[in-house]
Each structure stands twice: as C-alpha cells, then as structure tokens.
Amino acid sequence: MSQASMSPRDRSVEPTPLNRAPAPAAPPLTPAPSAEPSAPTTPAAPPATEPLSAPTPRRRGGGARFFLIVVVPLAALALGLLWWLTGGRYVSTDNAYVGADKVLITPQVTGAIVAVHVVEGQRVAVGDPLFDIDPAPYRTALALAQGRLAAAKVEFANLRAAYASNEDQIKMGQQAVDLRQADYDRKTSLVRSRAGTQADVDTSNAALVQAKQILEFVREQQEATKVKLGGGLDASIETFPDYMQAEAQAEDAERNLNHTHVTAPIAGEATQVDQIELGRVAPAGQPVFAVVATTGLWVEGNPKESDLTYVRSGQRATVTIDAFPGREWRGRISSIAPGTGAQFAILPPQNASGNWVKVVQRVPLRFAFDADQDVANLRAGMSAILAIDTGRKRTLSGLWSDLTSWAQSWLDGLLPAKAAATR
C-alpha cells in the first residue's frame, strides 16, 4: 500500500516523537486486532521509565589481602624458626691459613762454602746433602785432639806403672825402717849396760830417721799417683781426668768436622737457595736458606672467642682453599691454643692502664688433615676457610628456656628501676 492511499485511521496510529518508545526498550506486545470495527483511538502516552540505580561495587582483593597479612608473615616466621633450629651447628672462619714445618738451614761451624748440592725448588729427603764448608781447618783440629787423647793414654799407663813401683818401694822402705829401729834399740841397750858408746846410738838414730823420711816420701808419692789415677790400679781409664778432657776435645773436633757437610734435616723443598754463594764465609748460627716440608701440613684457624662456645678438640671439620675453589678437605681439630693470640705477642696488651677499648679476641686452633686427603698441591701460607661441626642441636625447649631466662632477667632489672623511680 502506498503512502497516498493511507486512511485517516492509519495516519492516527503512525508513530510520532511523542509516542515513540525509547530505543533500548522494546514496544509492548498488543493483542491482534479483531475483525470487528473499533472506535477511533487517541495517540497513546509514552510509557513511564523507572530511574536507573547505581551499580553495587563488587569486593575485589580480599584473598590477596589475607595472603599478604596472614599467610606471608606466618610463612616467614616458620622459615625463620626452621633456620634457627637448624643453625648454630657449624662454626666457620676465613681467618685460616695452611701451615707446614719450615727449617732454616743454619751452619753449626764457620767456614767458606766450597760446594752446593741443591737448586731452588728441589725436593730433598732426610739426609740428602745440601752444601759443604771447607773441612781443612777442622781436620787439623781433629788430629790435634786425637794426639792429646793418645798422650792421655800414655800418661795413664805411666801412672799405673809408677803406682806399682811405689808399692814395692814402700815395702822395702818399711823393711829398712824396721832394721834401723832394731839397730837403734840394740845400741841403746848397750849404752845402758855401758858396753856401747853414745856416738853409736846417735849414728843409729840418724839412720832410723832417714829411713822413716824416705818411707814417708814414697807414701806421699803413692797417694798423689792414686789421686791422678782416680782410685788406684783398679781405676778405669774412662775416669782418668786427662783422658776425659782429651776425649771430649776429640769428639768436639770430630763433630765440627762432620758439620762441614750440611744435610737436610726434614723432607721437603729447598727454597731461597740463590742466597748461597761459593767461597762466601758462612758464619755459624746464621741461616743460609730454608727447607719447607711437603708432608704433615695443617691449617691454623683463628676464630673469634665468641664462636668457641661449643668448639672442642677432636671435632670434625672441613677446609676449602681459595686457590682450589669447589674442592673440600676433611679432617678434625687437633688442638686449641691455651691462650689468645694477643697473649703470645711481643708486646701483650696492658688492659689495666690507660683507656681501655674492648676488642674481640681470637684463639688459634689447628686443623689436621685426614690420612687419606691429598695435600700434594697445597703450599704453606695459602688462605683457607675452616668450618667446624660442633654437633650442636637447637630445640624449642631450649628456645623457650632462653626466652624465659631473658624475661626473668629483664624483670629483675626493671623492678629496681621502678622502685628507684617511686622514691
């Protein structure tokens, strides 16, 4: 149907801006028109629309807030408690260094160096030759000492012979005295019986006195010989003073001669050998070079005094060397020093005088490698990190005991403070 042929009824129901429904709302459903003719209708008023209310905001982030406020602190507390319970067992320090026996090769006699048998870094065993000192003067001294020793032996033999001879002379002298005494007694009795003269008595008396003097002189010689021998014919030459002195001189000369050939006292590596010069006079007692041991190494650690509460000798420990990262050596604590390092310093601290500043002390201890550990590549003085397994285990009961002790001590200090404040 065209627009020109529309009836007035149809035009009356045509939508207008006044009766047009809003765009979002659909028009209401009307029943289907009946077949009967209907009366003319007026334009319908637009339907009333309800005002739109503001949307209710949805609660967001409640689970995240609970997680951050409750779960995260509880997890941190649990992890901290677990860390505290498992901690405190190991004590470690990086103030540790590899140690080894080091011997300064020092000549015992003075002399010119005539031969050197080692080079820098050469490995030596016990008894290997290192260098030689000119032995000629010491051979001469040994020959002189041996000559004095032989002379002492001859002197001892002469004294023994003199002692035996004096014993025979004493016997004969005693017999001579007895004869002179008998002659004197006889002539004295003759003078009393007026059968002899006084001159005969005087002559006999003089002979008797002379015989006694000779006997006394021989006896004194015998005593002197006995003292020199050290007890008589039964005395040993080992106790003869002249022999003992000569023997000591010979031994000293022989020892000095042996010291002209210097050997290695320990097994290790020779170092600072370049300081030796052929022909140089090496004075006795002055070091020439050194030999550092390659076996029997140890690690000397210096932990703080506050870390030694549970450290004991014999505890297991491990060592890592800075020069060999990622490698670990096993062993045990062999000894703990009886005092701090400051006590053995050249100038120990004097804490009783002047101003005092507390400094944490360090106590040296020694770590010994296990026998199956390979220490061939370690060198003395290398930096190390020492970790000691004290075997200590923390418990909740111990934590509670520590907390109660701390609280009790805090209360004990607080009560006097309050009492003082009220006064």
Query: DSSP labels for 344-383?
Result: GSSS---TTSS-------B--EEEEE-TT---TT--TT-E
What is the average per-residue pLDDT within 74-90?
A: 78
State the Rg of the chain over Cα: 60
Does 203 score more than 80 pLDDT?
Answer: yes
Beta pairing, strands 316-321 & 129-133: unpaired
| Structural tokens at position 342 | 């400051």
Q: Stretch 114-129: mean pLDDT, rounded? A: 93
Predicted pLDDT at 35: 42
Q: What is the mean pLDDT of the chain?
A: 81
Indicate the range of 10-14, 393-397, 405-409 predicted with least confidence.
10-14
Query: For 87-195, where are the alpha helices, taking DSSP H only?
Result: 136-192
Tokens read off for 319: 């060592």
In the predicted model, what is the mean pLDDT of residues 98-104? Answer: 94
Asked if 19 and 44 touch (Cβ cutoff 8 Å), the reply is: yes
Supply the pLDDT for residue 128: 94
pLDDT tens digits, 164-175: 787 888 888 888
With a pLDDT cut of 90, the percent of the chain lying above it is 39
The ranges assigned to domains in the chain are 90-101+294-402, 107-130+263-286, 137-256
- Residue at 35: amino acid letter: A
**pLDDT exceeds 50 at position 7:** no
Label residue 54 by pLDDT band (50, 70, 90).
low
- 41 or 266, higher pLDDT: 266
Q: Max CA-CA distance within the chain?
A: 230
pTM higher than 0.85 = no
| pLDDT for the residue numbered 349 | 78
Q: Residue 53: what pLDDT?
A: 53
**52 pLDDT band (50/70/90 cuts)?**
low
Looking at domain 90-101+294-402, which CATH architecture does it have? Answer: Beta Barrel (2.40)
